[in-house]
Structure 1
Amino acid sequence: MNRLWHLDWQALAGGSGVVRAMVCLSLVLMVAGMGYLVRLRDPVQGHVESVRLQLQLQDELEERGARLVELGVEQQALEHARVLLQAARWRLAAGEGMSELLDQLALSGHEHGLVFERVEVKEAQQASVYRVQPLEIAVSGQYPALRLWLEQWLRQLRLLNVERLTLVLKDEGIGRVDAQLRLHAYHPGEELPVPASLADEPAQAILSKKTAFDPFRAWSPPREGGDLAHVPLARLEMVGSLSRAGWRQALLRSGGRLYRIAQGERLGLEGGVVVAIEFDRVEVHERFYIDGRWQARPRYLVLGTREQGEVRDETDERVERRAIDAGAADGAGRDVSG
């Protein structure tokens, strides 16, 4: 530094122009450097830090925007799950109470010809967000009717859960089966609006009223000509009879086909049993539940006509025998003896 101050500045200034320019440039750089160190270093560093912070905040903003999109999707999924949950809770009782359930029970049982001997509504049990209502039901009827009724009754909108089912054959002659059921009905514990998804509920297929298999009946080989146990008596016509060694069969016609029927076989839709066969008529006893007990109702197929006489019940002394009288008056009996 001492050497610098001892330079001959006049000699340098009187030198060439290049030297003078370099000297001026050096002085300017020195002044600029000193000015930077004194006045500009802190603002420049502050600007650099601001740019870095801006870039960091922009990255965080983009990340939060992506999270917001994900949150919107999750909120939509949550709302959809809430709607499904509310619809499922509504289906616990389908907007109905216990009185409506008992009305459906009575109507459906009457439709299938069943007899309810006992219906007991137990005390409701409170679960976390719903109530459980146990029911004890004792019902009797033929197995095909019981099976069809149970399948149809459990397919309604409200939830019904069968906890226990017991079937016992009580009357082998007519195939009467006693059923003991314990089932659970449910209620959400509050009134809920009908879900909009109910409009998309598919229509249920109509159940067939003919059940080919009955586990409570003894197996028997199929007879030639078919089975008349599922043909209404009004569609059967007696056209003759066959007799051999005191054993008689009736010849019945239905749908253009001929059938041979013996005593003890079943006819009609009401579990009718052939109890007697004469040369001009067939007597069939049907079983009906009247006045709190099972009673037999005789019906008749008369030769040459499709009309049937009947005895309404044991308390009715008037017997309708118009068809029998008509058959006797026509005298159109036919007896083929072997």
Structure 2
Amino acid sequence: MTSLFSIDWQSLATRSRLLRVLAILLALLLIMLLGWFAALRETQNAYRLAGEQSRDALQALATRKAEVAGLEPERAALASARLQLQEARWRLDAGEGMSELLEQLAVSGHEHGLLFEHIEVLQEGQSTAGYRRVPLDIRVLGHYPALRGWLEQWQQQLRLLQVAQLSLVQVSGKPGLVRAQLRVHAYHAGEPLPVPPSLADEPSRPPVASSAFDPFQPWPSGPSADGLGRIPLEQMKMVGSLSTAGRYQALLSVAGHLHRVGEGQRLGRDEGVVVRIDEQRMEVRERLYMAGGWQQRSRYLALGKGARGEGRDDEGEAGSGVGVGAADGDVPGAGSAPEG
């Protein structure tokens, strides 16, 4: 009994309280550890999920890169098409306004000796996405060769011009003069555009060759060369030529007889007229009724050639290719010699 009462109850109580605090701290630490492990596991799961998503994203990115690489030819074609479209739009007006166009019209017409009777810029132009069309009414007077050369020169400029209507009428009481009535469509791009680089690669245009042919002039009715207007050209042979002051006359052999022919004389059965003679050949323009209308064609008598064919007439329409001629030696002593 004495030993029981000798125990230090105060010290035991103090130690018991300390043990309880330690137990509580250990419990809290254990709970924190359990929570930390749970959070770590959740973080690991999230990390694994993020890794899988990253791999999927990288795979999708590689697929898109392959698709983009496959679109490079289409992108290049699109860029080329856009460049061509921009160049075509620039050529609508070639970077110039209506005043520059009218000035070029007047200058080129003056160079060809034409008289402008009427020029009107109409206002009923049609506006479309990317361009605007402006019609012009033009009435001009001049000789047919000059009108033709002017139109060809005007159509060869950089600016786009479309001749929608064209009528040619011979002026009454003024032989040789023709009045042309034109409706021309000019265009505007609608905005300033840079000059296309491809313009530097275009070759320079040669000057327009004017033609002396005039369909409004009456067909020449010159004298027949010693009755040769009744003989086919196939029976004639050019055996020589004579020159006087730069003008040539042809020597023709027909049925053993020698004939001297000059420009403007009738020749052949098809209303042929000699229009040109030089040292080596002569040109005969014939008039035939073909395909429901009168047509002109040029045929040639060449010196020293046996080939036959039709050449080009003054209107620029290609024929089938003839030159009528004779080989050397058909007539003794034939050749080209100046007239004395």
TM-score, length of structure 2 as denominator length: 0.49
TM-score, length of structure 1 as denominator length: 0.49
